[in-house]
Amino acid sequence: MSNKSSIIDIISPIMAGPSSSHTAGAVRLGLLARNIYSRIPQKVKFVMYNSYAQTGKGHGTDKGLLAGILGFSVADSRIKNIYETSEAKKIKYEYECVEDFNRHPNSVDFIFDDETIISGDSIGAGEVEITKISGFTVSLNGKYNSLLLMYKDKPGVISEVTKIIQKREVNIASLHCDRNAKGKDATMIICIDGELNENCLEEIKVSADVKIVKYIRKLEH
């Protein structure tokens, strides 16, 4: 997937907050992490790194991350007072600030319900990228509807899954795989042009012997 931004991307997005990377990017990271987790958590811990840790509070990064998790859009005026909203009062949340030169300057870990860790970066002009899910390397920018698959690494899985998708005449924009080791747990991220229904997801799960099939919707804003 291309990392280039158009002039429209640079002067956008319309947002509540002073910074595209620290505010709008934070909201978009939260929204994408929410789409991946696929439900509102009872508890979330935000681990903010480097620039996010140093200047995030002044730029509203903390508020933006929480707003995204709660499903607020980038331009929602309620973000400035997110802690007072009824939505925020329904979940537990906490923040931790960390310095780590190995991480992107605007980086965050979302720890959902003490079980799932989703890591991402705000790369500028409101653009974001999810880089890890539960320890597996991924590349998701929210511009495409995507499939996340977790399965046991073995020959033929990739071919079987892509065949099922192509049978529905849905174009595959990109595909990324990662694994712990040969024959061990593996992940596959497939970004698509279009939509897939529940029947397709069930066929993938059964035919390819996949443990988890999760449909991640693209960001609307």
Assess if residue 104 is contained within a domain. Answer: yes
Assess if residue 34 is contained within a domain. Answer: yes
Assess if residue 221 is contained within a domain. Answer: no
CATH of the domain at 122: 3.30.1330.90
Assess if residue 1 is contained within a domain. Answer: no
The angle formed by the CA atoms of residues 50, 102 and 152, to the nearest 5 degrees, is 120
Tell which of 140, 158, 176 closes a domain: 140
Note whether 157 and 103 are same-domain residues. no
Tell which of 82, 115, 140 closes a domain: 140
Note whether 60 and 164 are same-domain residues. no
Give me the pLDDT at residue 57, please: 84
CA 214 to chain centre: 12
Note whether 135 and 162 are same-domain residues. no
Nearest residue to 25 via CA among 36, 37, 12? 12
Give me the pLDDT at residue 21, please: 53
Give me the pLDDT at residue 56, please: 85
The residue segments making up the domain with residue 165 are 145-216
Assess if residue 2 is contained within a domain. Answer: no
The angle formed by the CA atoms of residues 131, 136 and 140, to the nearest 5 degrees, is 35
Assess if residue 189 is contained within a domain. Answer: yes
Note whether 191 and 159 are same-domain residues. yes
Note whether 194 and 178 are same-domain residues. yes
CATH of the domain at 207: 3.30.70.260
Give me the pLDDT at residue 211, please: 86
DSSP 83: G
Note whether 135 and 154 are same-domain residues. no
Note whether 27 and 121 are same-domain residues. yes
Give me the pLDDT at residue 59, please: 86
Instruction: Confirm if 165 and 149 have CB atoms less than 8 A apart.
Output: no
Assess if residue 129 is contained within a domain. Answer: yes
Number of folded domains that form the chain: 2
Give me the pLDDT at residue 126, please: 83
Tell which of 121, 140, 159 closes a domain: 140
Q: pLDDT per position in the chain (221 positions), as tens?
A: 444 544 334 334 444 444 555 588 999 999 999 999 988 899 999 999 999 999 888 889 999 999 999 999 998 999 999 999 999 999 999 999 999 999 999 999 999 999 999 999 999 888 999 999 999 999 999 999 999 999 999 999 999 999 999 999 999 999 999 988 898 999 999 999 999 999 999 999 888 778 889 999 999 86
Nearest residue to 131 via CA among 199, 221, 33? 33
Give me the pLDDT at residue 8, please: 36
Note whether 91 and 161 are same-domain residues. no
Note whether 51 and 132 are same-domain residues. yes
Assess if residue 79 is contained within a domain. Answer: yes
How is the beta sheet containing 43-50 ordered, strand by strand?
92-98, 43-50, 106-112, 116-124, 127-133, 136-140
Beta strand pairing call for 43-50 and 106-112: antiparallel
Note whether 66 and 17 are same-domain residues. yes
The pair of structure tokens assigned to 38 is 């696929």
Note whether 110 and 173 are same-domain residues. no
Note whether 54 and 111 are same-domain residues. yes
Give me the pLDDT at residue 124, please: 85
